Amino acid sequence: MPAVFVWPCGSGCRQPSGCLLSTPRLSGSNLSRIVEGPMVRFALLAALSLTFPAGAQAAERKLDLSNIRGLILAAGVTAEISSTKGPAEAKLSGDPTAIEQFALEADEAVYTLRYTGQVPLSAEEMAKVTLSVKTPYLGYFSNARGGVVTFRDFATKGLLLEQGYSGFTDFQGEQFGGSVTLSGTCEAVNVGFRGPGRIDARDFKCKTVWIGAEGDGHLDVYASEAFKSQLAGSVTVAVAGDPKYCLARTAGASSARCGDRVAETFTDE
């Protein structure tokens, strides 16, 4: 099953030489790993569309989260979309007021998670609420504890990330096996995944992009200032935006290009 995590890098690191995260191994107890910063922690739950192949003989399923307007989370709250072999189902446990504002719409091809307005609860009340959504074709999308989430850019059904302490946003996937499309803007993004899959982030306009990936996949990204990657297997990366710095460490059949330029090899020294 694909697994997608989104959270901000809380290390406070701002320099290209020190912020590349190695490919994550998100299994077992690490599934609930949260990267904490000295201020608030942000967890992205929606405002983008995810498309995952359901199988060779099945129609493509699409989970569209672009209609979510806002969600206030407090310490102790968990929110996740997890896989199941049964029909799609949604559950929001805790305060009844929050439950009334949540709905999941589904047909044969599209699951749409709708959340209107912000939950009118205090941080203490919100800490008691748990959101769980299950679909047959999607692994963990987000497992979040703490922070404040703001969703914007609704007209384009895209994504504009609210930046955390370090200015970095993390996008992590384990045994990905599907495709994700991102749009919007960001200062810097850290991307990591294992397994087959595709990420189309050409319309996700970032100044700085770091990637750690292995397996079999392709990424289209946009970096206007700096790009750095660590790739293994047969991962390929195409970078738009003509960044000044274009660096990659590759193994196997992996490769990275910034426009017509092959990424320069870098070392830890």
The pLDDT of residue 255: 96
If DSSP states are collapsed to H, E and C, what string results for the chain?
CCEEEEECCCCCCCCCCCCCCCCCCCCHHHHHCCCCCCCCCCCCCCCCEEEECCCCCCCCEEEECCCCCEEECCCCCEEEEEECCCCCEEEEECCHHHHHCEEEEECCCEEEEEECCCCCCCHHHHCCCEEEEEECCCCCCCCCCCCEEECCCCCCCCCCCCCCCCCEEEEEEECCCCEEEEEEEEEEEEEEEECCEEEEEEEEEEEEEEEEEEECEEEEEEEEEEEEEEEEECCEEEEECCCCEEEEEECCCCEEEECCEECEECCCC
- Residue-wise pLDDT for 213-238, tens only, equals 888 888 999 999 999 999 999 999 99
Residue type, 251: A
CB 135 within 8 A of CB 158: no
pLDDT at residue 35, rounded to an integer: 26
The answer to whether position 3 is within a domain reads no
| Residue 66 maps to a domain | no
In a domain, 240, yes or no: yes
pLDDT given for residue 194 in this prediction: 73
Q: Is residue 257 part of a domain?
A: yes
Structural domains of the chain, count: 1
Residue 43 lies in a domain: no
Within a domain: 65: no
- pLDDT tens profile 152-182: 222 122 223 333 333 455 555 554 455 666 6
Look up residue 4 and give its amino acid. Answer: V
pLDDT attached to residue 204 = 77
| CATH (domain of 121) | 2.160.20.120
- The residues of the chain scoring below 70 in pLDDT are 1-186, 195, 268-269
Residues spanned by the domain of 172: 71-265
200 in a domain, yes or no?
Answer: yes
Q: Provide the pLDDT for residue 178.
A: 56
Q: Is residue 6 part of a domain?
A: no
